[in-house]
Structure 1
């Protein structure tokens, strides 16, 4: 159940941010993280606090939102908080009472470094969540030890978490992920077209998937297959 505050904050989950859409290569070490988070989302894992981190495009935000999507399907109460959209707001007003929810997911923790008020508010939320026996999922681009925080106690709390680093995708993974995502969207993206896009577009996976959505819409409107000439025409790359 999504609480009213989720809507009033203007925060929404991306429809395609699901476990099913998260690309895993064969023998991918990220498989362990995904399996644990699937249990965590449904309240089937006893861990109270999990912290995942990885480079831009590694899928941290995707997995945090996947956990929320799965929690919602299980009827659990949750809140997803991307700090990239919220640091200009009053942290106390946003975080007050969230320890009553089954699950709180906080994204973009690397943005805490110049936010002492947010650090203090999150420290208190962390303690309240632990005391109430609820679950907290944390994500960002840096591990706890890599965060330059004024509040050392918050950093130590983060370090107590069950910690995972996500492996970033290589070029072969990104091509495979683009082709797989296109099939899930209902169209075929040839590998040579995916390679063409990868060599000319931003290499961040989220940016690549947004381009894929753009191509999907354009191909539907034009009733054309996605080829290299069509990509050149639509994306101007």
Structure 2
């Protein structure tokens, strides 16, 4: 049987989900703690919570990228995608150096999953491994039925991720564009924010589309060109 970090679970970290590609905004302490953890320092347990689009999933995957770059065996488990499976995937994960578990709230209230997470956390702690967990709310507000699990989640450093304001969203678009080698003028970024989808992840998809169109047409990104491509 393959080691747990090599199991073909059908999910993986996105190539673009890195610390370099994340606008810190009002979350410098959380990002600093994750970077330190991925280098083998600081807290063995970090808990992130925040509303949708607050960057939880990006940061968990970025931690895995950073840990792997430092020679760690890492695994990203998005329970929003995997929670319909039984919690057998949690067994033997203490052989990893860093485990990132996303969307814990998606399995709350399910006895087998809560017990599986509790025992997994204990094994990771006993093996002195590192764990980063994310959910939509702080541990005490998740409605976890297993009191010991709720207690375990509160043992480490907890960070409330703050969403980006409009100015920061503009900066995030320009950062993502720069990572792709695109020149995104301020007026075009503002146009995309005002006319495009509200979700930042969808705006990044719009950027991808504009990047391909710009390269194909050998055109710079201007508002008239964006209107032509997107038909807005």
Q: TM-score range by the shorter chain?
A: over 0.9
Alignment-derived partner of residue 59 in structure 2: 63
Alpha-carbon offset, residue 6 of structure 1: 4.3
- Please tell me whether residue 207 in structure 1 is matched to residue 202 in structure 2: yes
Indicate which of 30, 34, 43 corresponds to 1:33: 30
Q: Is the 8 A contact 2:24 2:31 kept in 1?
A: no
The answer for unaligned runs of 5 or more in structure 1 is none
Question: Among 121, 124, 130, which residue is 2:119 paired with?
Answer: 124
Runs of 4+ in 1 over 6 A off after TM superposition: none
Structure-2 separation of matches of 1:176 and 1:5 = 35
Partner of 1:12: 12
Q: CA separation in 2, counterparts of 1:192 and 1:70?
A: 34
Seen in structure 2, the aligned counterparts of structure 1 residues 183 and 124 have a Cα distance that, compared at 3 Å, is: same
Distance between the aligned counterparts of 2:231 and 2:84, measured in 1? 35
| Residue 148 of structure 1, aligned match among 124, 143, 146 | 143
- How far apart, CA to CA, are the structure 2 residues paired with 1:84 and 1:193? 34
TM-score in terms of structure 2 length: 0.92
Q: How many residues align?
A: 231
Q: Is the 8 A contact 1:87 1:115 kept in 2?
A: no
TM-score (normalised: structure 1): 0.90
> Match for residue 228 of structure 1?
223
Segments of structure 2 that go 5 or more residues without pairing to the other structure are none
In the alignment, which residue of structure 2 is the partner of 1:102? Answer: 97
Identify the residue that residue 177 of structure 1 maps to in structure 2.
172
> Hey, what's the Cα distance between the residues in 1 that align with 2:125 and 2:24?
32
Name the CA shift for 1:211/1:154 in 2 (closer, same or farther; >3 Å).
same
* Whole-angstrom distance in 2 between the partners of 1:73 and 1:66: 11
C-alpha RMSD of the superposition: 1.8
